[in-house]
Chains A and B, each alone.
Chain A
Amino acid sequence: MEKTWNNKAWFMVLPVLVLVAFSAVIPLMTVVNYSVQDTFGGNQFFWAGAEWFEEMLHSDRFWAAMGRNLIFSAIILAIQIPLGIFIALNMPRKGWGVPVCLVLMALPLLIPWNVVGTIWQVFGRIDIGLLGYTLHALGFDYNYVNDPFDAWVTVIIMDVWHWTSLVVLLCYAGLVSIPDAFYQAAKIDGASRWAVFRYIQLPKMQRVLLIAVLLRFMDSFMIYTEPFVVTGGGPGNSTTFLSIDLVKMAVGQFDLGPAAAMSIIYFLIVLLLSWVFYTVMTNYDVEK
């Protein structure tokens, strides 16, 4: 659509600007201020320069949390995207099945994140949880409290349970926008199931898939509540992701300086990713 140039539009944006700036800019400035100072409480601050940043960049703890977070995000994407596409392809297009599927599948998305954690904490317990009990009864040595591998498996299955529906709903929305005529033409041509997917459905889903990948990456990169409730970052530090580590440092140990420095590094990475996301999206839309 052709847009007219009108700087008065700023007045319409002003309320949003003020509201978001209040909640975003002031805290961000504060974090920057903290990151170059040391404090022992009581609003007494001492200049520390770039010390905290240096400490963070040389801290094994930080890089370990970063590594865990990247591996976690990679696994999440590798499972949720193909699974989401597969389920979306098999969803009904019309009839009573549509609202039932939509509502039931969207349900996990609307559960408070710590309740998601609680559900899986209970579900995985070997004494009272269905999953843990069944696995134990089948002879698996499963215990997410003590075993880092089991903790990882639990956290990943939980995230698959929690967020795959988002990918499904996005892909489904892309699929229903394909006119029936496309399928009929393919049928006449004798196209195989794979050809229909590769040449009709996949191109139509491209945009929503792009969004799904980026959203899932960003959200898994800042995951906090769910693994915190289930494992508390343990056993040891094995499921301590960036956000968990950050909150531990800022609230648990009250190390404001290092926590602020870590926040800024974390935020810069997210900013870079958002920029890539935004640029890719807008250029994609321009090309279409």
Chain B
Amino acid sequence: MDFSWMAWTLPTAAFFITIFLMLVGMGVWEYFSPGGNPRVGILRFETTRGDRLFVSLLGSAFIHLAWLGLIGPNLWWALALAVVYAIGVFRFV
């Protein structure tokens, strides 16, 4: 079976492996501390840590797009901003 059409590159592979490891990590975390630490944050509804990870990832994607569209092609700054945002989400949402 030929999978060369998927056109894998190192950065995209690293990206998906990171996402995959995050999911595994969340699974392990959940296994040792079940319940997902639900709480009501600034969004005014109950979120678990899985929800917070999703909000962080989706938000980061939009931060990168906004950076690319409004500021410029240097995405390292966008990444830094996304990390700050993710920490904020895990802390306050």
Task: Report chain B residues within 8 Å CB of A33.
Answer: 6-9, 12
Is B45 interfacial (CB 8 A cutoff)? yes
A275 touches B68 (CB 8 A): no
How many A-B pairs have beta carbons closer than 8 Å: the answer is: 57
Is A272 interfacial (CB 8 A cutoff)? yes
B15 touches A32 (CB 8 A): yes
B58 touches A275 (CB 8 A): yes
CA distance A243 to B34 in the complex (A): 41
B62 touches A36 (CB 8 A): no
Q: Which of A50-58, A91-99, A130-138, A233-241 contacts B (4 or more CB under 8 A)?
A: A50-58
Set B5, B15, B68: member contacting A30, Cβ < 8 A: B5
Set B11, B45, B61: member contacting A268, Cβ < 8 A: B61
Name the distance in Å between B9's Cβ and chain A's nearest Cβ.
6
Q: A32-B12, A32-B15, A275-B54 are in contact. Are A43 and B65 (CB under 8 A)?
A: no
A268 touches B15 (CB 8 A): no
Task: Report chain A residues within 8 Å CB of B16.
Answer: 29, 32
Name the distance in Å between B21's Cβ and chain A's nearest Cβ.
15
Task: Report chain A residues within 8 Å CB of B69.
Answer: 54, 57-58
Q: A275-B58, A279-B45 are in contact. Are A37 and B5 (CB under 8 A)?
A: no
Digit string of A30-55 for contact with B (CB within 8 Å is 1, else 0)?
10111011010001010101110110
How big is chain B's contact interface, by range? 20 to 34
Q: A54-B68, A54-B73, A272-B62 are in contact. Are A36 and B11 (CB under 8 A)?
A: yes
A50 touches B9 (CB 8 A): no
Is B33 interfacial (CB 8 A cutoff)? no
Residue of B nearest to A47 (CB): B9
Task: Report chain A residues within 8 Å CB of B8.
Answer: 33
Q: A26-B6, A30-B7, A57-B68 are in contact. Are A268 and B12 (CB under 8 A)?
A: no
Name the distance in Å between A197's Cβ and chain B's nearest Cβ.
30
Set A49, A57, A275, A283: member contacting B65, Cβ < 8 A: A57
Residue of B nearest to A29 (CB): B16
Task: Report chain B residues within 8 Å CB of A54.
Answer: 68-69, 73
Name the distance in Å between B1's Cβ and chain A's nearest Cβ.
12
Name the distance in Å between B60's Cβ and chain A's nearest Cβ.
11
Is A265 interfacial (CB 8 A cutoff)? yes
Name the distance in Å between A242's Cβ and chain B's nearest Cβ.
15
Name the distance in Å between B73's Cβ and chain A's nearest Cβ.
6
Is A78 interfacial (CB 8 A cutoff)? no
Set B7, B45, B68: member contacting A45, Cβ < 8 A: B7
Q: Which of B8-65 contact A (CB under 8 A)?
A: 8-9, 11-12, 15-16, 34, 45-46, 54, 58, 61-62, 65
Residue of B nearest to A268 (CB): B61
CA distance A30 to B5 in the complex (A): 8
A29 touches B6 (CB 8 A): yes
Binding site for A on B (CB under 8 A): 4-9, 11-12, 15-16, 34, 45-46, 54, 58, 61-62, 65, 68-69, 73, 75
Given A33-B8, A279-B45, 6 new contacts (CB under 8 A): A29-B16, A30-B6, A43-B4, A45-B9, A271-B58, A275-B58
A-B contact pairs, 10 of them (CB 8 A): A30-B5, A33-B8, A33-B9, A37-B9, A39-B7, A45-B9, A47-B9, A50-B75, A265-B65, A271-B58
